[in-house]
Amino acid sequence: MMDSVLHKEFVAQMSAELGDHEAALLVDALMCAPQPTSVRYNPHKVSPLPEGEVVPWCASEGRYLPTRPSFTLDPHFQAGRYYVQEAASMFVGHLLVEALGGEVPRGVRVLDMCAAPGGKTTLYSALVGDRGVVVANEVIRTRALTLADNVMRWGVGNTVVTSNDPSHFGSLEGWFDVVAVDAPCSGEGMFRKSEEARREWSPDNVRLCAARQRRIVADAWKALRPGGVLLYSTCTFNRTENEENMAWLTEEFECEHIGVECPEEWGIVRTRAGVAECFHFYPHRTSGEGLFAAVVRKAGEGGGRSRSPKARKSPFGQVDRQAAAVVGRYLAAGADLHLATIGESLYAYLAAHWDDVRTVCEQMSVLYSGVRVGEVFGKKFKPDHALALSTIVNPTATPTTEVSLDDALHYFRREELGCVGELAEGVNLLLFEGAPIGYTKRIGGRTNSLMPKELRIFQQQ
């Protein structure tokens, strides 16, 4: 039965690396064990967090669900109140905080090099909050657009989404405090949930992935400052893509060990590769899919960032006083923000990190950054869907209407709302169980959804 579903050479590989007994337990889990469903709540939008079975290494926000609902049809998901994330992959947040000494420092710059679809990016965004900037990069543009949508929905406003080859980050050499590489891999850890991953696996693909991972890590290393932290992860089991790559890294570059607290009861298997601390998640030992993660520090004096590179042509325009005044009342009181324009749209950024955002946007191909606030036409303002879902929105700037589940789904499908009679004339902010889900505009007896067409959902109940 094992051989009919899993590649014979994969089973042999696991037996050689883990031993026959442990490999048999792994294969049985991949073949027969149920797949757990987990989500990670957005701490900037949800407080207190719901009760439920806690993901141990992400206890503050991670929860297992007893059943898998239709997330697409859940307004709370569409509002960015949680992200559907595989439990094991949440461990990188624990690694990040541990590597930074237990607290995220102010001014921190984080690069998520292979970021789509956005699970780890939104995790880093939540951890960093207003203390720094996250740059989320994805080289494949279609995947980068999905990443941008998820960052927009998450709404924290501290993230820049780029679509560049990893080599392009050479222009930001030594600029980042943390570089995370969730490297494209052979996907063995996804065998339980992905028939495609099982079908495409081969020893040749493992070797191809390992070589590509080394190229990405080498480029990522250049972008990391001396004293900075490298997080490496894959969703695969084999040593070729994992320990062997980390051993190569520690031999090729000057690395230092970082100690990480990891209780035995979590069921995570710890290994070492050179000075790198490594962690394996196996589905027969932990409640999740497969994951490998490792962490090292770049040797050198801490704080040794390179200077910002010479600016290229800036994509930003200035916001005049009249426009700033029009927009200001739509933004949360007390938020220290910098406003700028890109094309016809106005964007808001955390003022303390504006220089960092501008540096990235002047060097890279950027798809989304900060919070897209909307467009100003003289004294009139058209708010953007992203503003409604952001943590900087002032919900009292427009009339608000609590809507039913049916009307929330009508909104997400860009259909007419049944509650049109309850709306004020003009722009309204729609709420579902208190959570902003977007803007609509009432014009007489009809509504005009301000939700972007590309985000429209088609799934029926």
Taking each continuous run of H as one helix and of E as one strand, the counts in the chain are 14, 22
How does pLDDT run across 18-47, given as a tens digit for each residue? Answer: 999 999 999 999 999 899 999 999 999 998
The full set of domain ranges for the chain reads 33-298, 308-396, 398-461
Can you tell me the mean pLDDT for 51-75? 96
- Tell me what the mean pLDDT of segment 140-154 comes to: 98
Query: What pLDDT, on the 0 to 100 scale, is given for residue 453?
Result: 93
- Do the domains 33-298 and 308-396 sit in the same CATH topology, yes or no? no
Q: Positive or negative CA dihedral for 264, 232, 310, 357?
A: negative
361 is catalytic: no
* Structure token pair of residue 443: 């014009």
pLDDT at 253 over 50: yes
Q: Edge-to-edge, what's the strand order for the sheet holding 53-54?
A: 53-54, 62-65, 37-41, 82-84
Please check the confidence at residue 208 and state whether its pLDDT lies above 70: yes
Catalytic residue among 58, 185, 209, 235: 235
Position 3 confidence tier, pLDDT thresholds 50, 70, 90: very low
Take residue 47 and report the two structure tokens written for it: 């407080």
Mean pLDDT, rounded, for 285-294: 97
Rounded CA gap, 279 and 233, in Å?
Answer: 9
269, pLDDT greater than 80: yes
| Mean pLDDT value across residues 121-134 | 97
* Strand order from edge to edge, sheet including 371-377: 337-342, 345-350, 371-377, 380-383
The per-residue DSSP string of 321-378 comes to HHHHHHHHTTBPTT--EEEEEETTEEEEEEGGGHHHHHHHHHHS-EEEESEEEEEEET
Mean per-residue pLDDT, 284-295: 97
pLDDT of residue 233 exceeding 80: yes
Q: Which tokens in the block code for residue 461?
A: 């109940």
Domain 308-396 belongs in CATH node 3.90.1150.10? no
Region 241-248: mean pLDDT is: 98
Confidence at residue 302, expressed as pLDDT on a 0 to 100 scale: 59
pLDDT of residue 303: 57
Q: Residue 2 pLDDT more than 50?
A: no
pLDDT of residue 1 exceeding 50: no
| Averaged pLDDT score across all residues of the chain | 95
Q: Which amino acid is at 142?
A: T
* pLDDT on residue 379: 85
In tens, the pLDDT along 353-371 reads 999 999 999 999 999 999 9
CB half-sphere exposure, 431, CA atoms < 13 A? 13
**pLDDT of res. 83:** 98
Tell me how far CA of residue 284 lies from CA of 54, 198, 269, 441, in angstroms.
18, 18, 11, 52
Model pLDDT, residue 5: 77
* Residue 238 vs residues 5, 40, 232, 248: alpha-carbon distances, Å: 18, 27, 14, 15
Determine the 3-state secondary structure of 82 from DSSP.
Answer: strand
Q: Would the CA dihedral through 285, 291, 294, 295 be positive or negative?
A: negative
Q: Where are the alpha helices (DSSP H) in 194-299?
A: 195-200, 203-223, 243-252
Mean pLDDT for the stretch of residues 99-114: 97
> In the CATH scheme, what is the homologous superfamily, with its name and number, of domain 33-298?
Vaccinia Virus protein VP39 (3.40.50.150)
Residues 428-445: tens digit of each pLDDT = 999 999 999 999 999 999
**pLDDT > 80? residue 388:** yes
| 398-461 belongs to CATH 3.10.450.720 | yes
- The answer to whether the pTM exceeds 0.85 is yes
